[in-house]
Structure 1
Amino acid sequence: MPSIPQEKHLIATAIPDTRSRLGESPSWHSQEQVLYWVDIEGCALRKYNPASGEVQVYPMPERLCAVVPGAGGDLVLALQNSICKYKPATGELQELARPLQDRNIRLNEGKCDPNGRFWAGSMALDVRPGAASLFCMDPDLQVREVLQNLTIPNGLAWSGDGKTLYFTDSPTRTIRSFKYDLASGKISNPTAVVQVPEQEGMPDGMATDADGNLWVALHGGGAVVCYNPQTGEKLQRVEVPALNVTSCTFGGPELETLYITTAREWLSEEQLERYPLSGHVFEAQVGMKGLEANFFGKEKS
């Protein structure tokens, strides 16, 4: 396994009762003041209320790959092949679009842009190179394929002004920025901004803070690392007591808590013995403030 660099850093704390098989897509719901995330292989949506400490689980009929808040009070979910509206109170699922037909390819990381469009990647279950794409669903439910010939599309974070999209195809270990047209949702001018060394793992999910920095989960690297995307400089490291760190987001009343998802699926017995907290959601106070999650169908004022 990749060695984790030993340096001065913060250590994230596991939140009790939050263990998933493959935790992903953490999303802070600013109206409910709760954290949602998905357990992809456990086929479940999960919710954590920091005020009460309560964790709730909502079983799904198939793999659940991403969750975002919706403008009408519902949630928008990326299931294995479809994008659905979900009412947690009743369990009602309503299909909005079906970008994929092949059951051997599933949706992956998903987030909304500041104008309420839902972006999601796909990936082959056998992770074969070139089988994945990046999709965008507009609020009118029209879906377009934006990028092709990918392997594991991840990241999806926007700058505070919405003019830059950050994205990574994880096996490339390269985070790219795109010029982002908020009016049309079109991307252009791809530019490599961060290159993650092989021994530090692969860049996975990421979040932007209020100062424009990128917080990147390192899969196989046991950490979240903060980078300046203008220079590629590493600014801060948060060690996570789990090898496969999958994503992160800012939450809490002031958006000052970094929530971090991890996975335990496919780890060996030796790795699980070394990282017994794998699969938990972790939290850390990193001294920075994040950006609010964008809602599907809702343009930021």
Structure 2
Amino acid sequence: MSYKVETVLKDAASTIGESPHWDDATQTLLYVDILKGDVHRYDPVTGKVDFIHLVGDNVGFVVPRGKGGLVAGLGQAFVSVDWETKAVTKLAEVDPGTNNKLNDGKCDARGRLWAGTIDRQLAPSKGKLYCMDTDGCVTKKDENLTISNGMAWSPDNKTMYFIDTTPREVYAYDYDIDTGNISSRRVVVNFKDIPELSGENVIGPDGMTTDTDGNLWVACLNGGCVAKIEPNSGKLLQKVDIPDATRITSVCWGGKNHDELYVTSLKMHPTSARFPLIDSQDGSLFRVTGLGTRGAPAEVFRG
């Protein structure tokens, strides 16, 4: 099946474009520019892009909040953001006294907010995985991670998937939707075992989503592509190449029918020696159509 890749925003991010989230309420795409500290909102109908600058630290992720506004990861803090007034309010803090910061984040089907932390210099085994419940209580769910990244859930909500980029692995946990508990972590995808994704320059899996069939769609950092993977077998089903871009960071389903795959990318990174020369489209926002599948609507934080 043929697919079409469009560059919908050239230079969408000046540093690390990440955390795309399709907001059904406004039919717009949210994403962040991590090192710049900006939260962007893109309207595909008008082509207009608005943004809010969050002062004081890097912004790791953004999700809408059911009661209005947004929730973002700002440094070590979960914060609420009022788009109209620009007011930012701390909700909770994690990993105080460490060199960690929040990275990727996403909500489960009950509206809990999950997010991982990483060491700012990417020191190994310093990261953790947290869940902020709808009552505001934050619980540590896993630890000894290096680059906490993409997360997703199976259509039946019995499995949670999570990425640690450094070992190039996608983990699965048994997931209890009623309690939010995770258990029995195992590796379901190792990029080192997939020849098409195991090249010397491919850093590894980054952001991730699932389709309604339960397949994983994984952004391949330094791989210039998005990989469709069957999680039970770890088999690569499809490789969606993004022309003239190498540093692919994350993906989400969007559009009225949730059949358009939005793809973010990275333009600048503080440890740039680990990355090849920038391709002409790195830092852009892409949209892929004609994939013949779709995702479920993205969940919002219900706290």
Runs of 4+ with >4 A deviation: 8-11, 267-270
Residue 40 of structure 1 aligns to which amino acid in structure 2? I
Question: Percent of pairs identical after alignment?
Answer: 35
Write out aligned runs for 1:1-301 (5 A). Answer: 10=3, 12-17=5-10, 18-61=12-55, 62-102=57-97, 104-197=99-192, 198-199=198-199, 200-240=202-242, 241-266=244-269, 267=272, 271-272=277-278, 275-285=279-289, 286-297=291-302
TM-score, reference length from structure 2: 0.91
Residue 300 of structure 2 aligns to which amino acid in structure 1? F
Q: Is the contact made by 1:80 and 1:103 (CA closer than 8 Å) also made in structure 2?
A: no
Q: Is the contact made by 1:79 and 1:107 (CA closer than 8 Å) also made in structure 2?
A: yes
Q: Structure 1: how far apart are the matches of 2:236 and 2:2?
A: 12
CA-to-partner distance for each residue in 1:145-199, whole Å, 9 max, x for gaps?
Answer: 1111110011110112211100111111111111100111100122221111331
Aligned length: 289
Q: Structure 2: how far apart are the matches of 1:255 and 1:184?
A: 28
Deviation at residue 10 of structure 1 after TM alignment: 4.8
Deviation at residue 60 of structure 1 after TM alignment: 1.1
Q: Is the contact made by 1:9 and 1:237 (CA closer than 8 Å) also made in structure 2?
A: no
Partner residue in 2 for 1:5: none
Deviation at residue 19 of structure 1 after TM alignment: 3.2
Residue 115 of structure 2 aligns to which amino acid in structure 1? A
Q: Structure 2: how far apart are the matches of 1:135 and 1:83?
A: 11
Q: Structure 1, unaligned stretches of length 5 or more?
A: 1-7
Q: Is the contact made by 1:82 and 1:100 (CA closer than 8 Å) also made in structure 2?
A: no
TM-score, reference length from structure 1: 0.91
Q: Structure 2: how far apart are the matches of 1:270 and 1:292?
A: 35
Deviation at residue 40 of structure 1 after TM alignment: 0.4
Q: Structure 2, unaligned stretches of length 5 or more?
A: 193-197
Secondary structure of 1:13's match?
Answer: strand
